């Protein structure tokens, strides 16, 4: 049972335009959400996160939106740059007092075209 | 400050062989994790160690064992490798009660 889902395996966006990556979750106990970026042959690197008490968090070109009623979060990248081409994973935490176990989505491969 | 390091980078095994994947972190983190990444499946947690001296099963622990050797090192052992264990394995670490995990570069394992 996939608790965190990224339904778009791939996304192609023109350089300079907005990239929107989506993620849905089923477990209402998740209280913290993260986005990771992964280049080929490298480990994932942390990008941005949001607590369930907020609905938006911004960091430079990256903004994450959380809609708790819809159990949906999205990552906006504006403007998109060629270096943003990577696989993006969303992740959720369900146990704030425990070992910080994260549940990951399947990933979305973002390609930025010049 | 190397962060999280993993060895080896790449390994080919025959079915039934055993091997240990090594992971070390120099960030003084308490918690460490092992994940596997398969196409279309994202990252799935194999085992984790909340603190030195403790280990617990994650989502897909069958066929694996782990050892938290000390605060820095967390190894993953395949006792009898199977083709289904062909995957990319990532080690990660985090501070206690902090959400952000820091990942190593991965070990690509092929079991024939």
**pLDDT tens, B49-97?**
988 889 999 999 999 999 998 999 999 999 999 999 999 999 999 987 7
pLDDT tens digit sequence for A10-26 = 999 999 999 999 999 99
Kindly determine whether residue A105 and residue B58, on different chains, have CB atoms separated by under 8 Å: no
A5 pLDDT above the threshold of 70: yes
Q: What is the CA radius of gyration of chain B?
A: 13
Chain B residues whose CB is inside 8 A of the A106 CB are: 40-42
Look at residue A29 and tell me whether its pLDDT is greater than 70: yes
The mean per-residue pLDDT over the stretch B44-52 comes to 93
Q: State how far residue A106 is from chain B, nearest Cα, in angstroms.
A: 4
Mean pLDDT of A32-47: 95
CB contact under 8 A, B97 and A97: yes
Which pLDDT value is given to residue A2?
A: 80
B53 touches A at CB < 8 Å: no
Instruction: Check residue B40 and give its pLDDT.
Output: 83
Cα–Cα distance for residue pair A112/A64, rounded to 1 Å? 19
User: Are A107 and B42 a contacting pair at CB < 8 A?
Assistant: yes
Nearest residue of chain A to residue B42 (CA atoms):
A106
**ω into residue B8 within 30 of 0, thus cis?**
yes
Give the model's pLDDT for residue B107. Answer: 97
pLDDT of residue B98: 76
pLDDT score, position A96: 58
pLDDT-above-90 percentage for chain B: 84
Nearest residue of A to residue B6 by CA position? A43
CA distance A44 to A40: 9
Q: Which of residues 58-77 of B touch A (CB under 8 A)?
A: 58
Note the pLDDT of residue B12: 97
- pLDDT bin (cut points 50, 70, 90) of residue B41 is confident
Q: Is A34 on the interface with B (CB under 8 A)?
A: yes
B105 touches chain A (CB under 8 A): yes
pLDDT digits (tens, 9 = 90+) for A44-100: 999 999 999 999 999 999 999 999 999 999 999 999 999 999 999 999 987 655 667
pLDDT tens column, B6-23: 999 999 999 999 999 999
In the prediction, which pLDDT does A98 show?
60
pLDDT of residue B2: 79
Which 3-state string (H, E, C) describes chain B?
CCCEEEECCEEEECCCCCEEEEEEECCCCCEEEEEEEECCCEEEEEEEECCCCCCEECCCCCCCEEEECCCCEEEEEECCCCHHHCEEEEEEEECCCCCCCEECCCEEEEEC
Cβ <8 Å between B105 and A43 = yes
Flag whether pLDDT at A1 surpasses 90.
no
Do the Cβ atoms of A43 and B90 come within 8 Å? Answer: yes
């Amino acid at each position: 049972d996939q608790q965190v889902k990224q339904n778009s395996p791939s996304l192609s966006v023109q350089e300079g335009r907005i990239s929107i990556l989506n993620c849905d979750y089923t477990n209402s106990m998740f209280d913290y959400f993260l986005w990771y970026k992964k280049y080929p042959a490298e480990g994932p690197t942390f990008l941005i996160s949001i607590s369930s008490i907020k609905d938006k968090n911004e960091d430079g070109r990256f903004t994450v939106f959380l809609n708790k009623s819809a159990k949906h979060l999205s990552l906006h990248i504006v403007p998109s740059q060629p270096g943003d081409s990577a696989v993006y994973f969303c992740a959720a935490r369900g146990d704030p007092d425990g070992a910080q176990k994260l549940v990951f989505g399947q990933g979305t491969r973002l390609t930025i075209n010049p | 400050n190397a962060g999280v390091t993993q060895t080896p980078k790449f390994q080919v095994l025959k079915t039934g062989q055993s091997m240990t994947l090594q992971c070390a972190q120099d960030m003084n983190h308490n918690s460490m994790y092992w994940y596997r990444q398969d196409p279309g499946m994202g990252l799935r947690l194999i085992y984790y160690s909340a603190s030195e001296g403790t280990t617990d099963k994650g989502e897909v622990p069958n066929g694996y064992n782990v050892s938290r050797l000390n605060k820095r090192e967390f190894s993953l052992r395949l006792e009898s490798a199977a083709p289904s264990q062909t995957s990319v394995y990532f080690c990660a670490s985090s501070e206690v009660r902090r959400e952000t995990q820091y990942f190593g570069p991965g070990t690509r394992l092929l079991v024939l």
